[in-house]
């Protein structure tokens, strides 16, 4: 054989022999993933930042939604010993894509074929995620034929990695459609929040007989949370979210490992979605937040030794977030937060950040990109205690939120309270900032 041919053959052998094979295997109790022949249970997060911290909390896999940074993400995941559910962002009808347009559908398929060919042998690849929430607000169910065509090509060209598709919540109609139109989908994946407790029962009830995954989960979604009487959703604080992450994993994910192959917690990063803190597990300046402690506990089985601050109570004008707080324009009010620090350290050790924000007016569905809400400055004043402030209500009537963040040992707790500003009556004085007389809330409990 020609030396050049031998050399090229060796290159190809090296290039295509370093992948790790993932298969779905049916066993006596249900299903399991095998990676290079060994059982592999997914303890994952959705997002591709701070991979060293992913490893530190005991996670083993990440999920992406698109392939814009696929090479960089896969390579970094491999260096950190992580696997990747690589997402193929199949276009959405709600963004204007027409699944009756055969030319556009064919062009999309051709593009994904090049992506699949490029990354199918990457050693960090675990699973292909073919589409994310294409069923959200859709009417044209032809999208499932497009999903099938992509999944079929994966099976034809990549026998070493299974396929999955992700729906927005769990609905019997989508289960029926995927079963009928997408025979090359191996794993059903569900993005679910407040409804996660119904998934284990309903996925069987709706007729799915294969394995499944929970590919987004976390706090209650903004669409399923209580609202103020002026129609804005009330966000759980970080302590409430920590409890939610812990309990939902323990109650609804881990106990169903015979058919649920694992999960990806949302969101490993920061994002403006309804508010700037609703879903992100990091602050926008990349500080780990309290719910990450819950993920570390459930992934490692160990109690956190240096937990984030815990929120005991947060009030504006001596009212809770659920009290439909209305404040007179430009008048002066109190706000206070009671916290507990690791080792019962003094609250003076923590840093407190208070901000007044306009209620976001750029709220979208499905995680679409949103503009940040507007911050109003010059309205807050520090007091004798770091966990309490005086603030002036904005002068313009409307909806606002008071945000507070408490940072200690590079971990953050946070909360916000929505409030509505109502106009002052004619001649009513604005009031002035005065010395704050506080009640000591260090040991306050709800």
Whether the pLDDT of residue 430 is over 90: the answer is no
Whether the pLDDT of residue 55 is over 50: the answer is yes
Reference 309, options 275, 348, 277; nearest CA is 348
Q: For residue 377, with 0-12 CB atoms within 10 Å meaning exposed, 13-18 middle and 19 or more buried, which class applies?
A: exposed
Q: How far apart are CA 154 and CA 179, in angstroms?
A: 17
Please give the average per-residue pLDDT across 430-443, as a whole number: 41
Question: 260-270 pLDDT, tens per residue?
Answer: 999 999 999 99
Q: How far apart are CA 139 and CA 39, in angstroms?
A: 39
- What is the predicted pLDDT for the residue at 172? 98
- What is the predicted pLDDT for the residue at 427? 67
Please give the average per-residue pLDDT across 402-417, as a whole number: 98
Buried b (16+ CB within 10 A) or exposed e, 264-281: bbbbbbbbbbbbbbbbbb
- What is the predicted pLDDT for the residue at 425? 78
Q: Kind of pairing, strands 163-168 and 125-132?
A: parallel
Lowest mean pLDDT: which of 348-352, 406-410, 423-427? 423-427
Beta carbons of 113 and 88 less than 8 angstroms apart: no
Tokens of residue 392, six digits: 């002036």
Q: How far apart are CA 406 and CA 444, in angstroms?
A: 17
- What is the predicted pLDDT for the residue at 341? 98
Q: How far apart are CA 68 and CA 88, in angstroms?
A: 10
Please give the average per-residue pLDDT across 134-143, as a whole number: 97
Q: For residue 356, with 0-12 CB atoms within 10 Å meaning exposed, 13-18 middle and 19 or more buried, which class applies?
A: buried
Please give the average per-residue pLDDT across 16-34, as a whole number: 90
Q: Where are the domains of the chain?
A: 18-300, 310-422
Q: How far apart are CA 221 and CA 267, in angstroms?
A: 12
- What is the predicted pLDDT for the residue at 441? 32
Whole-number Cα distances in Å, 82 to 60, 154, 267, 294, 327? 5, 22, 17, 20, 49
- What is the predicted pLDDT for the residue at 431? 57
Reference 404, options 394, 421, 393, 391; nearest CA is 391
- What is the predicted pLDDT for the residue at 429? 65
Lowest mean pLDDT: which of 42-46, 194-198, 278-282, 424-428? 424-428
**Regarding predicted confidence, which is higher, 356 or 5?**
356
Please give the average per-residue pLDDT across 344-370, as a whole number: 95
Question: 56-76 pLDDT, tens per residue?
Answer: 999 999 999 999 999 999 999
Backbone torsions φ then ψ of 190, nearest 5 degrees: -125, 130
Task: Report the mean per-residue pLDDT for the chain.
Answer: 93
In the block, which residue shows the tokens 């008048």? 331
Reference 337, options 439, 235, 434; nearest CA is 439
Reference 151, options 189, 112, 125, 177; nearest CA is 112
Reference 293, options 282, 279, 278, 277; nearest CA is 282
Q: What is the largest CA-CA distance in the chain?
A: 98
Whether the pLDDT of residue 3 is over 80: the answer is no
Q: How far apart are CA 27 and CA 93, in angstroms?
A: 38
- What is the predicted pLDDT for the residue at 116? 98
18-300: CATH homologous superfamily? Glycosidases (3.20.20.80)
Q: How far apart are CA 199 and CA 206, in angstroms?
A: 10
- What is the predicted pLDDT for the residue at 185? 98
The pLDDT > 90 percentage for the chain reads 90
CB-based contacts of 307, cutoff 8 Å, min separation 6: 290, 293, 342, 411
Whether the pLDDT of residue 7 is over 50: the answer is no
Q: How far apart are CA 281 and CA 266, in angstroms?
A: 8
- What is the predicted pLDDT for the residue at 19? 86
Q: How far apart are CA 90 and CA 101, in angstroms?
A: 14
Please give the average per-residue pLDDT across 1-7, as a whole number: 43
Question: 283-296 pLDDT, tens per residue?
Answer: 999 999 999 999 99
The pLDDT > 70 percentage for the chain reads 91
Please give the average per-residue pLDDT across 269-275, as a whole number: 97
Residues 310-422, CATH architecture: Sandwich (2.60)
Q: How far apart are CA 172 and CA 170, in angstroms?
A: 7
18 confidence band (pLDDT: 50, 70, 90)? confident
- What is the predicted pLDDT for the residue at 432? 53
Backbone torsions φ then ψ of 225, nearest 5 degrees: -105, 160
Q: How far apart are CA 76 and CA 70, in angstroms?
A: 10
Question: 212-243 pLDDT, tens per residue?
Answer: 999 999 999 999 999 999 999 999 999 999 99
Q: How far apart are CA 385 and CA 335, in angstroms?
A: 11
């Amino acid at each position: 054989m020609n030396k050049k041919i031998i050399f090229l053959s060796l290159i190809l052998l090296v290039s295509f022999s370093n992948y790790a094979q993932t298969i779905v295997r049916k066993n006596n109790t249900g299903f399991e993933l095998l990676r290079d022949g060994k059982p592999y249970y997914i303890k994952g997060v959705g997002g591709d930042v701070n991979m060293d911290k992913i490893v530190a909390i005991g996670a083993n896999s990440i999920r992406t939604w698109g392939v814009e940074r696929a090479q960089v993400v896969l390579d970094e995941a491999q260096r950190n010993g992580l696997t990747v559910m690589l997402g193929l962002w199949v276009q959405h009808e709600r963004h204007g894509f027409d699944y009756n347009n055969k030319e556009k559908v064919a062009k999309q398929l051709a593009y994904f074929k090049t992506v699949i060919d490029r990354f199918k042998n990457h050693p960090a690849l675990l699973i292909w995620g073919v589409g994310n929430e294409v069923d959200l607000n859709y009417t044209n169910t032809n999208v499932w034929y497009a999903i099938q065509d992509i999944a079929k090509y994966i099976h034809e060209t990549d026998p070493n990695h299974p396929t999955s598709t992700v729906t927005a919540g769990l609905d019997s109609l989508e289960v029926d459609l995927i079963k009928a139109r997408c025979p090359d989908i191996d794993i059903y994946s569900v993005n679910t929040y407040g409804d996660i407790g119904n998934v284990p029962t309903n996925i069987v009830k709706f007729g799915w007989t294969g394995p499944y995954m929970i590919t987004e989960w976390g706090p209650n979604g903004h669409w399923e949370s209580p609202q103020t009487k002026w129609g804005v959703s009330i966000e759980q604080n970080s302590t409430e979210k920590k409890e939610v992450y812990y309990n939902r994993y323990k109650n609804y994910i881990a106990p169903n490992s015979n058919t649920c192959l694992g999960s990806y917690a949302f969101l490993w990063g920061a994002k403006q979605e309804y508010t700037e803190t609703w879903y992100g597990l990091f602050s926008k300046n990349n500080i780990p937040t309290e719910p990450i402690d819950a993920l570390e506990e459930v992934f490692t089985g160990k109690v956190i030794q240096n937990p984030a601050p815990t929120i005991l109570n947060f009030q504006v004008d001596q009212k809770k977030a659920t009290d439909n707080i209305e404040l007179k324009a430009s008048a002066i009010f109190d706000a206070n937060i009671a916290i507990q620090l690791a080792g019962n350290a003094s609250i003076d050790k923590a840093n407190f950040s208070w901000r007044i924000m306009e209620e976001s007016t750029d709220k979208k569905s499905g995680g679409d990109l949103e503009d940040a809400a507007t911050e109003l400055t010059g309205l807050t004043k520090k007091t004798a205690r770091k966990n309490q402030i005086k603030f002036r209500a904005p002068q313009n009537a409307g909806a606002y939120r008071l945000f507070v963040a408490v940072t200690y040992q590079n971990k953050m707790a946070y909360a916000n309270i929505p409030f509505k500003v109502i106009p002052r009556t004619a001649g009513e004085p604005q009031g002035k900032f005065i010395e704050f007389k506080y009640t000591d809330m260090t040991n306050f409990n709800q």
